[in-house]
Amino acid sequence: MVAASLLFLLTFGFICGEAEAQRKLVYVTVLFRHGDRSPVRAYPTDPYQESAWPQGFGQLSQVGMMQHFNLGQFLRKRYKGFLNDSYERHEILVRSTDYDRTLMSAEANLAGLYPPAGQQVFNPNLIWQPIPVHTVPLNEERLLIYPIADCPRYQQLMNETEHTEEYLNVTAEYRDIIDLVRNKTGLNKTDVQSVWSVYDTLFCESRHNKTAPNWVTPDVMGKLKFLKDFGFRASFGLHKQQEKSRLLGGVLLGEIVKNLTKMADPDPKQKLRLMMLSAHDTTVAALQASLNVFNGRQPPYASCHIFELYRDENGSASVSMFYRNDSKVDPYPIQLPGCTLQCPLEDFVNITKPSISDDRDKECQLPSEGRDTEVIISLALSGFLLLLLIALLLGVICWQKVPSNNRGYQHVINQELGVES
């Protein structure tokens, strides 16, 4: 009996080993939030205005630089043997939003991922090499920044969200803390959404050892943290999550799915192995909401969502996802609802399709009911003006046909002098 059990375990292990050996990593996409930073803004009564921060508001700190250097080293270790030991420009593409903190996070990450060696060393005293990070102007960014201001339908959805029973209940339950924030900060208006910035400012100040005002107790911070996380849920879910996803994170998800599909086809000329995206907490949350895997909490500094594309020897492809939101433990496997951890690419594409818009700009317009009314009014007005113009033209024609002796007295112009006679 013991021998039979041992034989079964050995056989099972051999089969599993063979299955694993047949599954080959071919492409990776990583999306991460920038590292630790200074506050984006200060509230009116804040004792720490922009001059209190060495580089000003919204800038990556040395702690944030180290967080991303460490993340780069983690990626180097995780993909050893998959990525070249030295930087190869064809195997990695890096894109960032056009903010100092995201650009610098990407650069710090690359310093940990690709320390120079051999001929790539240009200064023996500097263990670093320049690696390109691409971006687009903020007014052109549609892929990595959410929410997007030029989407009326999303604004309408948020207005609906703020009138849902859950949202109104939370507002009522936390009315005391919302009023406290308004009274203590000097802000003219505070609500569930606006306390984000106040919590963020206080959180940044606490991480950088700045003394909090007396009214900022642990209980206050706990309540503000809850409202901050609830604000994330409201922005990307809570009400009509899938439609919100089609307007926000689904845009990025669509690009990721398109690239996964493209990279699944064997192409000896294709050398790209890693797509690196440097962005924000809202970017990570919006993407995870579009995948229906968002945990409802603000993604921490340097958190990283990983997509790994594998191809089997039989040509089939599958996708595995991981989320690294704690540097002390291995990334957590993320299972796409309705699929397995090793999700077949075809299933991955089909499951995510409802969250991906074919025409985001069109879907961002307000529902057609309102536009139909506007169109009807516009057509009616145009028709009236056209009829009025036709009537005027007919009147002019009829007037011109009346005999001249019936037109009454007329002025005669002296062409030479230019005066009437």
User: Which residues have C-beta within 8 Å of that of residue 375, sequence separation ≥ 6?
Assistant: none
Q: Count the neighbouring beta carbons within 10 Å of the beta carbon of residue 177.
A: 18
**Catalytic residue list contains 347:** no
Beta strands in 38-108 (DSSP E): 92-96
The pair of three-digit structure tokens given for residue 190, joined into one six-digit string: 């505070």
Distance CA(301)–CA(31), nearest Å, equals: 12
Single out the catalytic residue among 34, 68, 280, 305: 34
Q: What is the three-class DSSP state of 177?
A: helix
Q: What is the 3-state secondary structure (H, E, C) of 333-395?
A: EECCCCCCCCEEHHHHHHHHHHHCCCCHHHHCCCCHHHHHHHHHHHHHHHHHHHHHHHHHHHH
Residue pair 39/57 in contact (Cβ under 8 Å)? The answer is yes
Burial label for 230, CB within 10 Å (0-12, 13-18, 19+), is buried
Single out the catalytic residue among 98, 100, 281, 312: 281
**Catalytic residue list contains 305:** no
Residues designated catalytic: 34, 281
